[in-house]
């Protein structure tokens, strides 16, 4: 069932992004007087198709990993004399540039709409208050201590741990000063703390910026009561049930799920644990053997059980929402920030500051799509916005085959007054195709490596 849900979420996400991207090309092409022969969402054999009164065929194809808009073009086949004025290649170079740019622009517009919806609907988040700070860490040397709330990082407000993580990601691979504004209590004045970075997490695989600084998030005491059991997991096989209260592990009393139960399970991969459990007023012993999975090169135990819901202190819960008008600049700013972050990350990946192993392919996208959809509308909309921005940025890269490569050709034609030679364009096509296929293979290899 989880696999089916993940596949459905992935198809919905990719289908929407591809449709919006291709519709951008389609919409501008028609307004520039170009005849569109086919609008396809997906590649391969069409599952079903239909035509409109202008003769355009619309198709839903079997492989939902892309799409295309096929336009009338003399370079792709003979064109009837009566339709030459509708051929793409006969249009002014400025119109061709507009058509090429329209796809990525549509992706950025989708991201703006998604962020606007999130801002209007509002989100409930937890304030980034510090838990225990690791002794000897960068954060401790700077003076940060447990109980402080992170207010700003490098001058940018951080009302949630998500924002904290985003601001830290910007500094991956860098050397310099990380400026943090923090306060000890909600009503106290914030003070500035300087953390010194030195080639920070340069080349690290799947870096965790928060943990790398020695920071943890504050957690309330969480009663070790099981709230959910995964089907076919070790917990279900051992006979654990929802509502069970874990009182001891291997004879050692436990009172907190996060600080005691989780470390005990994660540190006992493949080893039997003896749990003392209270159920319906009775105490019983249950043996469970955590299964093994790899996480950053080490074996970690898991049993397929989740903690029961618990309440956070009221002063740590933040509700963030905006009225529809104020939400517009918020959405624009968020889209701009994420676009810049994507470009900076690509630059750092090319220069070696960020490991290329962080590059993700369709398997990771599918996993994130499923997880975000389960987390709720706000999470799924955020995922759509981030992925749409990534798609827009990547398509504008000056690589032949992509929109950005065609844009380079047309800009060169605009400057020169004539198009580049067919031979140069053919070379570029071969190089671009080889590069794109190579990157895709590497991304899929990274995905498979993460699966272990």
DSSP letter string, 224-283: -BEEEE-TTSHHHHHT--TT-EEEEETTEE---IIIIIHHHHHTTTTS-EEEEEEETTEE
DSSP 174: -
CATH superfamily label, 123-219+311-320: PDZ domain (2.30.42.10)
d(CA 423, CA 326): 51
Alpha carbon separation from 111 to 371, 386, 391, 393 (Å, rounded): 19, 7, 11, 12
What per-residue confidence (pLDDT) applies to 315?
A: 81
The SS3 assignment for 151 reads strand
What per-residue confidence (pLDDT) applies to 97?
A: 95
d(CA 100, CA 405): 10
What per-residue confidence (pLDDT) applies to 352?
A: 83
Fold of 226-308: Pdz3 Domain (2.30.42)
Please give the radius of gyration of the chain, using alpha carbons only, rounded to the nearest integer. 27
Q: Are 230 and 305 in contact (CB under 8 A)?
A: yes
- Tokens 């601001």 label which residue? 167
Q: Are strands 252-253 and 282-288 parallel, antiparallel or unpaired?
A: unpaired
Q: Is it true that 123-219+311-320 and 226-308 share their CATH fold?
A: yes
Task: Tell me which residues are annotated as active site.
Answer: 22
d(CA 433, CA 400): 7
What per-residue confidence (pLDDT) applies to 297?
A: 61
Q: Token pair for residue 244?
A: 């069970």
Q: Are 310 and 220 in contact (CB under 8 A)?
A: yes
What per-residue confidence (pLDDT) applies to 451?
A: 67
Q: pLDDT averaged over consecutive 10-residue blocks of the chain (452 residues)?
A: 75 88 95 94 87 91 84 88 89 94 96 96 90 93 94 93 92 93 89 93 85 90 89 88 92 90 89 91 91 75 88 84 94 95 89 80 74 82 93 91 90 88 84 84 76 62
Domain definitions of the chain by residue range: 123-219+311-320, 226-308
Q: Are 22 and 52 in contact (CB under 8 A)?
A: no
Give CA angle at 322 (319, 151), nearest 5°: 50
Q: Which of 221, 160, 151, 214 is nearest to 186 (CA)?
A: 151
What per-residue confidence (pLDDT) applies to 46?
A: 85
């Amino acid at each position: 069932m989880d696999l089916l849900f993940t596949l459905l979420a992935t198809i919905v996400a990719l289908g929407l992004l591809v449709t919006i991207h291709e519709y951008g090309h389609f919409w501008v092409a028609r307004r520039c007087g170009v005849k569109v022969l086919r609008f396809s969402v997906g590649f391969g054999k069409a599952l079903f198709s239909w035509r409109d009164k202008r003769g355009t065929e619309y198709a839903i194809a079997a492989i939902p990993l892309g799409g295309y808009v096929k336009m009338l073009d003399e370079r792709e086949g003979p064109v009837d004399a009566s339709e030459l004025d509708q051929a793409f290649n006969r249009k002014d170079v400025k119109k061709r540039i507009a058509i090429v740019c329209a796809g990525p622009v549509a992706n950025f517009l989708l991201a703006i709409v998604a962020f606007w919806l999130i801002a209007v609907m509002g989100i409930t988040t937890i304030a980034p208050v510090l838990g225990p700070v690791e002794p000897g860490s960068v954060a401790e040397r700077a003076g940060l201590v447990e109980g402080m709330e992170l207010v700003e990082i490098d001058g940018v407000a951080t009302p949630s741990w998500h924002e904290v993580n985003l601001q830290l990601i910007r500094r991956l691979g860098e050397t310099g000063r990380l400026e943090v504004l923090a306060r000890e209590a909600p009503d106290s004045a914030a003070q500035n703390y300087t953390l010194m970075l030195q080639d920070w997490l340069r080349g690290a695989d799947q870096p965790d910026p928060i943990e790398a600084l020695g920071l943890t998030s504050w957690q309330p005491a969480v009663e070790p009561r099981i709230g959910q059991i995964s089907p076919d997991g070790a917990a279900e096989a051992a006979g654990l049930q929802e509502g069970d209260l874990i009182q001891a592990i291997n004879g050692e009393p436990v009172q907190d799920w996060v600080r005691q139960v989780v470390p005990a399970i994660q540190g006992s991969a493949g080893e039997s644990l003896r749990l003392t459990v209270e159920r319906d007023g009775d105490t019983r012993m249950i043996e469970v053997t955590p299964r093994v999975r790899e996480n950053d090169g080490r074996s970690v135990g898991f049993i397929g059980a989740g903690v029961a819901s618990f309440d956070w202190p009221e002063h740590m819960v933040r509700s963030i929402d905006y009225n529809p008008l104020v939400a517009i600049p918020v959405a624009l700013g968020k889209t701009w920030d994420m676009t810049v972050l994507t470009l900076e990350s690509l630059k750092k990946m090319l220069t070696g500051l960020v490991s290329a192993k962080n590059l993700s392919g369709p398997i990771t996208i599918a996993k994130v799509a499923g997880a975000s959809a389960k987390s709720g509308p706000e999470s799924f909309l955020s995922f759509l916005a981030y992925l749409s921005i990534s798609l827009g940025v990547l398509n504008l890269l000056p690589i032949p085959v992509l929109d950005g490569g065609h844009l380079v050709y047309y800009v060169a034609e605009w400057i020169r007054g004539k198009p580049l030679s067919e031979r140069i364009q053919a070379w570029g096509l071969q190089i671009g195709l080889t590069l794109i296929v190579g990157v895709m293979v590497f991304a899929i290899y990274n995905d498979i490596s993460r699966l272990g």
